[in-house]
Amino acid sequence: MCAESVVNNQTSATTEDAQALEALPVDETLDHIEFHIRHDLQKRLDLYLRDRLPHHSRSMLQKLIRAGAALVNNRPAKSSTLLRAGDTVQLDIPPAVDHHALPENIPLQVIYEDDHFLAVNKQADLLVHPARGHWTGTLINALLYHAGQTAGTLSTGSDPWRPGIIHRLDRHTTGLILIAKTDEAHWRLAGQFERRTIHKTYLAIVHGVPALDNDMIDAPLGVHPGNREKYAVRTEGGRPAQTIYHVRERFGRSSLLELNPKTGRTHQLRVHLAHIGHPIVGDVTYGGRELTPLDITGPAAPPSPKPICPVIGRQALHAWRLHFVHPFSFTRMSLEAPLPADMLELLSVLRGTGR
């Protein structure tokens, strides 16, 4: 039987959220939270609070905002209020159900580690950190176990739910991710990401063959107008986004691309490649298709009653290399994560058929 396909599910308000909302008028039950916005985020208030408070559902946060529990610069705000540098956000919110990330013995492929940070080759189907409905089985749980086994630490960062996390990869994207072990290493590495001095290189297998060997995709991105769980090219109101691509191999009806994102927008590579008509193989969210051996080689035998499984059951996207400066020795570093088995198998089949 083939592996179960990935399905995106929208999260609704939890029972705990509803009970907490009913308790809103009782001041003694509320926590007062305050955030100071340091950068010009151009992000809606409800989306910002969802990211900062992952243990509360977005629908509950919107109800709290409508009830007047959220202030921006000491004035009642709307869910659609855009946050800018210098804003202060205040929120009175019912205490969340207490969740704690616990160590779990989940395999980790450590590419590099010293006293300040480590680099991990993240496997597919692994969330980076706990979120609504996914409190276990994440990279954070694996890192906590690794730290306990090696007498190591993880940075606290800006969010206690995401110790050590400087940047993220999508659940089904594999490859390099840097993890800070100390707070000082965290802000030094995070600063390199913010200044865009870290050079990131991805590998992707896409449908079709781009007309140009090299090009830059310059297309602003924003939330999809019809599905807030997705992103899309938005010429009006989108945030600037640039991706440079280089064609490494051609297979007739598909290609291996090397990608260098110049910005770091959510789903940027996936949306940009779909935008130019070359979605990533397996990325069904953005127009890609799962490829079976028959799709690639053509029928070589009579049809079988057994299901034909795809060669790869996720988007064929891998964070391959990182070039950056060590946060303490200031030496230039270059780390590389080997391709996972499913992408190697897909490439092997494509190279054997020229498709």
Query: Domain-by-domain residue ranges, the chain?
Result: 18-93, 110-194, 199-353
In the prediction, which pLDDT does 8 show? 37
CATH topology agreement for domains 110-194 and 199-353:
yes
How does residue 17 score in pLDDT terms, banded at 50, 70 and 90? very low
In the prediction, which pLDDT does 123 show?
97
Q: Which of 67, 283, 281 is nearest to 170 (CA)?
A: 283
For residues 342, 274, 208, 200, the Cα torsion angle rounded to the nearest 10 degrees is -60
Q: What is the pLDDT of residue 41?
A: 78
Q: Where are the alpha helices (DSSP H) in 111-258?
A: 139-150, 183-194
Write the CA distances from 264 to 3, 240, 242, integer angstroms. Answer: 31, 10, 9
- State residue 96's pLDDT score: 58
Please, what is the Cα angle at 94 between 91 and 95, to 5 degrees?
Answer: 110
pLDDT digits (tens, 9 = 90+) for 38-94: 888 788 999 999 888 866 777 888 888 998 889 999 999 999 999 999 999 999 887
User: Is 90 exceeded by the pLDDT of residue 27?
Assistant: no
Which of 37, 46, 96 has the alpha carbon at shortest distance from 66? Answer: 46
Q: In terms of Cα–Cα distance, which of 307, 323, 319 is closest to 343?
A: 319
Pick the CATH number of 110-194 from 3.40.640.10, 3.30.2350.10, 3.40.50.300, 3.30.300.180: 3.30.2350.10
Catalytic annotation, pick one of 170, 215, 283, 342:
170
pLDDT for the residue numbered 269: 98
Tell me which residue of 55, 131, 134 sits closest to 97, measured CA to CA: 55
Is CATH 3.10.290.10 the right assignment for the domain spanning 18-93? yes
Q: Which two tokens stand for residue 150?
A: 């090696």
Helix (H, G, I), strand (E, B) or coil at 100: coil
Q: For the residues 7-18, what does the mean pLDDT come to? A: 36
157-213 pLDDT, tens digit each: 656 668 899 999 999 999 999 999 999 999 999 999 999 999 999 999 999 999 999
- 213 part of the active site: no
Buried-state track 11-45, b at ≥16 Cβ within 10 A, e below 16? eebbebbeebbeebeeeeebeeeebebeeebebbb
Q: How many helices and strands, by DSSP H and E, does the chain display?
A: 8, 17
pLDDT of amino acid 161: 67
CATH architecture of 199-353: 2-Layer Sandwich (3.30)
Q: How confident is the model at residue 20 (pLDDT cuts 50, 70, 90)?
A: very low
Q: Does position 1 have pLDDT exceeding 60, yes or no?
A: no
Mean pLDDT, rounded, of the chain: 86
Q: What is the pTM of this model?
A: 0.74
Q: What is the pLDDT of residues 303-331, one digit of tens each?
A: 555 667 889 999 999 999 999 999 999 99
